[in-house]
A and B are shown apart, each in its own frame.
Chain A
Amino acid sequence: MRRAAAPAAWAACALATALAAGGCTGPPAAAGGPDGILTSSWGDPQNPLEPANTNEVQGGKVLDMVFRGLKRYDPRTGRAQDMVAKSITTTDARTFTVTLQPGWTFSDGEPVTARSFTDAWNYAAHVDNVQNNAPFFADIEGYDEVHPADGKARAKTMRGLKATGERTFTATLTGAYPAWPDTLGYQAFLPLPRSFFTDHDAWLDKPVGNGPYRIASYAKGSGMKLRRWDGYRGPDRARNGGVDLTVYTDAGTAYTDLMAGNLDLVDDVPATQLKFVRNDLGDRYVNQPALIIQTLAFPMYRKEWSRPGMEKVRRGLSMAIDREQITRRIYQRTRTPADDWTSPALGARGGYRALCGAACRYDPAAARKLIAEGGGLPGGKVTLTSNVDTGSHRAWMDAVCHSVNRALGERTACTVDPVGTFADFRNRTTSQRMTGPFRSGWQADYPLIQNFLEPLYRTGGSSNHGDFTDRSFDRLVDAANARRDPAAAVGDFHAAEAVLAEQMPAIPLWYQNGSAGWSERLAGVTLNQFSVPVYDRITVL
């Protein structure tokens, strides 16, 4: 509604530009061709854009445009491919030697060296810097000294990380971890320029990286302008002039703006529009399986949810949710009912298997019985919490509550607590202020089953916001990581998943497809496995 008047204003603008070039800056920029700039919807990131502190989708989207790491996951196949790395070699799967490609620089001209990586990683791991992704470095020798479980750090840098030359460094892990190089495409492992350390505040205002785009301007809460960096020498130069990201607090508004021609690309098509999307956009719409699962995590840091016996209540709640109807009606089948804690996009070889079993099937009678056996809901009530600015989360939360209330035969046992913005919701999640189940959407950082389990459910995991802890689960994950044979590792992860099926620290809801719609100005729009648009391949007509 607020934007209703805008098209008219731009029409006037176009007239003005015809008479005198320049002067009008309203999106979308009229120019097409290789320098054309596209506009895209965005959500406000939770944190300043420090790579090691960003473990959510919206910040990750920008980091993927502004940075390139040692490896990058091929947008089509998902395989980890060398980017800045020339080679990563090892003889014992424990000590890795990393050699960098020559010629990489940051957009401020500083060359990318071995120290760009080691300094960044040491910064990320150090306890004083309070970085969300610090646990990703826990495999490196000396992590426990810079990031002890409690108390002060005993060292400034990790022993296991040594720059051995201008473009080589070695990383020694605490144990064998053959799949380690494949995790290096994640944003926690990105390099950082000197300016990050020397003038931190200025860097945060306008992050400098080594990727195909540079940040032209960033206004927190409203948007970011990214421009192609012409000095980029990597293999994936941007095929457009830049991207203007605009923050929307409601996916419906973004979609309306796309239809009105005020926006070029929407990567979160609202559920209520799914019926019309083919009609509205024709083939300018993509909907494909992605490495995303939505779950409802329990705040295990609260006694009423974690005391013995509650695992029955948690399982019972899972069985009270009619996933089939919700994905069919509300999501028009762009979600698939979940039956494990990973994603079918991993494939059976990658480790996907329906391990949740009966605990993920709708069975109101069994649900009622289990919840009663476990002592009932705490105080007879349960409140679901999620942000409601993206993903049509309000609709499914209501539907899940109705399903639970129906199964329990009570009308107001389950209620929802909608949180206005993603950033606010993330803050409540990470500061552990939840009183009941909260949405925990997981978009994999890299296409390995380990990434769906370890960060979320291992004791102290980087995204284990419910504080779940289980000794046998931890042991199985550690065993899996040490395996050289991928199939054997998957076997251990399956055993670990069986623990989750028993304990139910998070209820699997559904697997999410990635979806995007775009305007007639764009071509070559694709989504990667993480359902983020591959911006550098988009061309503006």
Chain B
Amino acid sequence: MPDKTAAPEATEAAAKTATTTVTTAPDAVLSANAPKPEKARSLWSDAWRDLRGNPLFLISSALILLLLVISAFPGLFTSASPRDADLANHYLQPPNWGHLFAPDWFGYDGQGRSIYARVIYGARASILVGVGVTLLVTIVGTIVGMLAGYFGGLTDSLLSRITDIFMGIPFMLGALVVLTSFANRAIWVVILALVFLGWTTIARVARGAVVTIKQADYVVAAKALGGSTTRILLKHILPNALAPIIVVATIALGGYIAAEATLSYLGVGLADPTVSWGVDVSSGREQLRNAPFVLIVPSVMVSITVLAFLMFGDAVRNALDPKMR
């Protein structure tokens, strides 16, 4: 699950260093008369160069790409259906490790369903939740954080206290309470519940970044030149506050996937007939002594996916935070 207590301090510190060194677009306005360097080196191009040579980044992004393809086109990877159950012929049939990509590759579960097919089709739920929650959390958190940081005063106090209140709700407990009050838990209910509780970290990071950037010369200049608030926020502040936000968001993504699996395991997340790794881990638990592979295969898939996103987030942070270079 997203670690809410430790992350903000560390990432906020990272955010400050990252933002103070940002000298990209606004420079073009401010230093029009200064001698031009041979090549414009922005934070982003530096980061990209850094990432290209980072094996951590290459491996994790390959894995993530694969997962994205699997969740978009599961049919490409298996011909079996995750819901076809055949108790008579396939009850707890053990894996056949040699049969790569065949329905019996990872064996069959206690209902006679192909575990390989379930794992492939289960990717979609995890990726949808992970990516969906991260996107929404970033949007909500950035808006709240930017408004609080830029306007300050009463607006800041109000928004920051609201953020604090939400931060005070224990993540898992809150999710359990919210989700148990929904009888029919479709995937968007789970996404919204996680967004509801998860936007605060980003809001804090965004606020911290904006407070620093607000005092930068180019912002003051834009104000002096009579730029509208919207224009300043969107053209000058947002692009420069984005780096720390992206760092926090990518690292949290893995956590949201793990959170979905946890909630589904506890029986309050996704439910049949949605195919999800968490649901399969939960049903595999009962078969632990009979057929451990029923539990292990989906668990390993959750681990690999979470690991891939964490590694990706780590690599992005290293690239965007000059202190880590």
Residues of A within 8 A of B (CB): 252, 270, 272-273, 275-276, 322, 325-326, 329-330, 394-395, 398-399, 402-403, 405-406, 411-412, 415-416, 418, 420
**Judging by beta carbons under 8 Å apart, are B81 and A411 in contact?**
yes
**Judging by beta carbons under 8 Å apart, are B290 and A272 in contact?**
yes
B299 within 8 A of partner (CB): no
**Judging by beta carbons under 8 Å apart, are A252 and B83 in contact?**
no
B91 to chain A, nearest CB (A): 4
A242 to chain B, nearest CB (A): 32
User: Can you name the residue of chain A whose Cβ is closest to the Cβ of B274?
Assistant: A412
**Judging by beta carbons under 8 Å apart, are A272 and B272 in contact?**
no
Instruction: Tell me the complex Cα distance, A365–B110, Å.
Output: 25
**Judging by beta carbons under 8 Å apart, are B111 and A272 in contact?**
no
**Judging by beta carbons under 8 Å apart, are B289 and A272 in contact?**
yes
**Judging by beta carbons under 8 Å apart, are A252 and B85 in contact?**
no
**Judging by beta carbons under 8 Å apart, are B111 and A399 in contact?**
yes
B27 within 8 A of partner (CB): no
| Most central of A329, A411, A415 by chain B CB within 10 Å | A329
**Judging by beta carbons under 8 Å apart, are B85 and A399 in contact?**
yes
Residues of B87-132 contacting chain A, CB below 8 A: 87-88, 91, 110-113
User: Given known contacts A395-B110, A402-B111, A416-B272, is B83 in contact with A272 (CB within 8 Å)?
Assistant: no
Specify which chain B residues have a CB less than 8 angstroms from the CB of A329 in the assembled complex: 87-88, 91, 110, 112
Specify which chain B residues have a CB less than 8 angstroms from the CB of A411 in the assembled complex: 81, 83-84, 273
Instruction: Tell me the complex Cα distance, A535–B71, Å.
Output: 55
17 more CB-based (< 8 A) A-B contacts, given A329-B87, A406-B84, A415-B273: A270-B286, A272-B287, A275-B290, A322-B87, A329-B91, A329-B110, A394-B283, A395-B110, A402-B111, A403-B87, A406-B85, A406-B86, A411-B84, A411-B273, A412-B83, A412-B273, A415-B272
Number of residue pairs A-B, CB distance < 8 angstroms: 59
B134 to chain A, nearest CB (A): 28
Instruction: Tell me the complex Cα distance, A398–B87, Å.
Output: 11
**Judging by beta carbons under 8 Å apart, are A272 and B87 in contact?**
no
Instruction: Tell me the complex Cα distance, A273–B85, Å.
Output: 21
A320 to chain B, nearest CB (A): 13
User: Can you name the residue of chain A whose Cβ is closest to the Cβ of B273?
Assistant: A412
Instruction: Tell me the complex Cα distance, A325–B81, Å.
Output: 20
Secondary structure dominating the interface of B: loop
Instruction: Tell me the complex Cα distance, A403–B84, Å.
Output: 9
User: Given known contacts A330-B87, A412-B83, is B286 in contact with A272 (CB within 8 Å)?
Assistant: yes
B115 to chain A, nearest CB (A): 15
13 residue pairs A–B, Cβ–Cβ below 8 Å:
A272-B286, A272-B290, A322-B87, A325-B87, A329-B110, A329-B112, A398-B111, A398-B283, A403-B87, A406-B85, A406-B86, A411-B273, A418-B267
**Judging by beta carbons under 8 Å apart, are B286 and A399 in contact?**
no
| Most central of B87, B113, B273 by chain A CB within 10 Å | B87
Specify which chain A residues have a CB less than 8 angstroms from the CB of B289 in the assembled complex: 272-273, 275-276
Complex interface bits, B267-296 against A, C-beta within 8 A gives 1, otherwise 0: 100001100000000010011011000000
B24 to chain A, nearest CB (A): 51
Specify which chain B residues have a CB less than 8 angstroms from the CB of A403 in the assembled complex: 85, 87
| Most central of B110, B283, B286 by chain A CB within 10 Å | B286
Instruction: Tell me the complex Cα distance, A302–B254, Å.
Output: 45
Instruction: Tell me the complex Cα distance, A394–B109, Å.
Output: 14
B124 to chain A, nearest CB (A): 15
Instruction: Tell me the complex Cα distance, A329–B290, Å.
Output: 12
Instruction: Tell me the complex Cα distance, A403–B85, Å.
Output: 8
User: Can you name the residue of chain B whose Cβ is closest to the Cβ of A275?
Assistant: B290
**Judging by beta carbons under 8 Å apart, are A326 and B267 in contact?**
no
A430 to chain B, nearest CB (A): 19
A293 to chain B, nearest CB (A): 21
Instruction: Tell me the complex Cα distance, A415–B290, Å.
Output: 26
A174 to chain B, nearest CB (A): 44
**Judging by beta carbons under 8 Å apart, are B267 and A420 in contact?**
yes
A307 to chain B, nearest CB (A): 25
User: Given known contacts A322-B87, A395-B286, is B110 in contact with A272 (CB within 8 Å)?
Assistant: yes
**Judging by beta carbons under 8 Å apart, are B273 and A330 in contact?**
no
User: Given known contacts A272-B286, A272-B290, A402-B85, is B110 in contact with A330 (CB within 8 Å)?
Assistant: yes
**Judging by beta carbons under 8 Å apart, are B83 and A405 in contact?**
yes
**Judging by beta carbons under 8 Å apart, are B111 and A325 in contact?**
no
Specify which chain B residues have a CB less than 8 angstroms from the CB of A415 in the assembled complex: 272-273
**Judging by beta carbons under 8 Å apart, are A252 and B111 in contact?**
no
Instruction: Tell me the complex Cα distance, A270–B112, Å.
Output: 19
**Judging by beta carbons under 8 Å apart, are B273 and A326 in contact?**
no
Instruction: Tell me the complex Cα distance, A338–B322, Å.
Output: 71
**Judging by beta carbons under 8 Å apart, are A399 and B83 in contact?**
no
Specify which chain A residues have a CB less than 8 angstroms from the CB of B290 in the assembled complex: 272, 275-276
Instruction: Tell me the complex Cα distance, A394–B91, Å.
Output: 16
**Judging by beta carbons under 8 Å apart, are A399 and B272 in contact?**
no
User: Given known contacts A252-B286, A411-B81, A420-B267, is B87 in contact with A399 (CB within 8 Å)?
Assistant: yes
Instruction: Tell me the complex Cα distance, A420–B266, Å.
Output: 11
User: Can you name the residue of chain B whose Cβ is closest to the Cβ of A270?
Assistant: B286
Specify which chain A residues have a CB less than 8 angstroms from the CB of B113 in the assembled complex: 402
Instruction: Tell me the complex Cα distance, A326–B110, Å.
Output: 11
Instruction: Tell me the complex Cα distance, A325–B111, Å.
Output: 11
Top 6 A-B residue pairs of the complex, sorted by shortest distance between their CB atoms? A402-B85, A325-B87, A329-B91, A272-B286, A412-B273, A411-B83
Instruction: Tell me the complex Cα distance, A403–B87, Å.
Output: 9
Instruction: Tell me the complex Cα distance, A406–B87, Å.
Output: 11
Specify which chain B residues have a CB less than 8 angstroms from the CB of A326 in the assembled complex: 87
A254 to chain B, nearest CB (A): 13
A425 to chain B, nearest CB (A): 14
User: Can you name the residue of chain B whose Cβ is closest to the Cβ of A388?
Assistant: B267
Instruction: Tell me the complex Cα distance, A400–B287, Å.
Output: 19
**Judging by beta carbons under 8 Å apart, are A398 and B272 in contact?**
yes
B31 to chain A, nearest CB (A): 61
Instruction: Tell me the complex Cα distance, A398–B85, Å.
Output: 10
Complex interface bits, B188-214 against A, C-beta within 8 A gives 1, otherwise 0: 000000000000000000000000000
B137 to chain A, nearest CB (A): 29
| Most central of A252, A273, A325, A405 by chain B CB within 10 Å | A325
Specify which chain B residues have a CB less than 8 angstroms from the CB of A412 in the assembled complex: 83, 273
A278 to chain B, nearest CB (A): 13
User: Can you name the residue of chain B whose Cβ is closest to the Cβ of A414?
Assistant: B273
Instruction: Tell me the complex Cα distance, A416–B289, Å.
Output: 25
Specify which chain A residues have a CB less than 8 angstroms from the CB of B81 in the assembled complex: 411
Specify which chain A residues have a CB less than 8 angstroms from the CB of B110 in the assembled complex: 272, 329-330, 395
Specify which chain B residues have a CB less than 8 angstroms from the CB of A405 in the assembled complex: 83, 85
Specify which chain A residues have a CB less than 8 angstroms from the CB of B86 in the assembled complex: 406
Specify which chain B residues have a CB less than 8 angstroms from the CB of A252 in the assembled complex: 286
Instruction: Tell me the complex Cα distance, A540–B84, Å.
Output: 49
Instruction: Tell me the complex Cα distance, A420–B84, Å.
Output: 26
Specify which chain A residues have a CB less than 8 angstroms from the CB of B273 in the assembled complex: 411-412, 415
B221 to chain A, nearest CB (A): 60
Specify which chain A residues have a CB less than 8 angstroms from the CB of B83 in the assembled complex: 402, 405, 411-412
User: Can you name the residue of chain A whose Cβ is closest to the Cβ of B268?
Assistant: A420
Residues of B48-100 contacting chain A, CB below 8 A: 81, 83-88, 91
Specify which chain A residues have a CB less than 8 angstroms from the CB of B112 in the assembled complex: 329, 402
A77 to chain B, nearest CB (A): 37
Instruction: Tell me the complex Cα distance, A14–B287, Å.
Output: 34
User: Can you name the residue of chain B whose Cβ is closest to the Cβ of A252?
Assistant: B286
Specify which chain B residues have a CB less than 8 angstroms from the CB of A273 in the assembled complex: 289
Instruction: Tell me the complex Cα distance, A397–B163, Å.
Output: 43
Specify which chain A residues have a CB less than 8 angstroms from the CB of B91 in the assembled complex: 329
A311 to chain B, nearest CB (A): 27
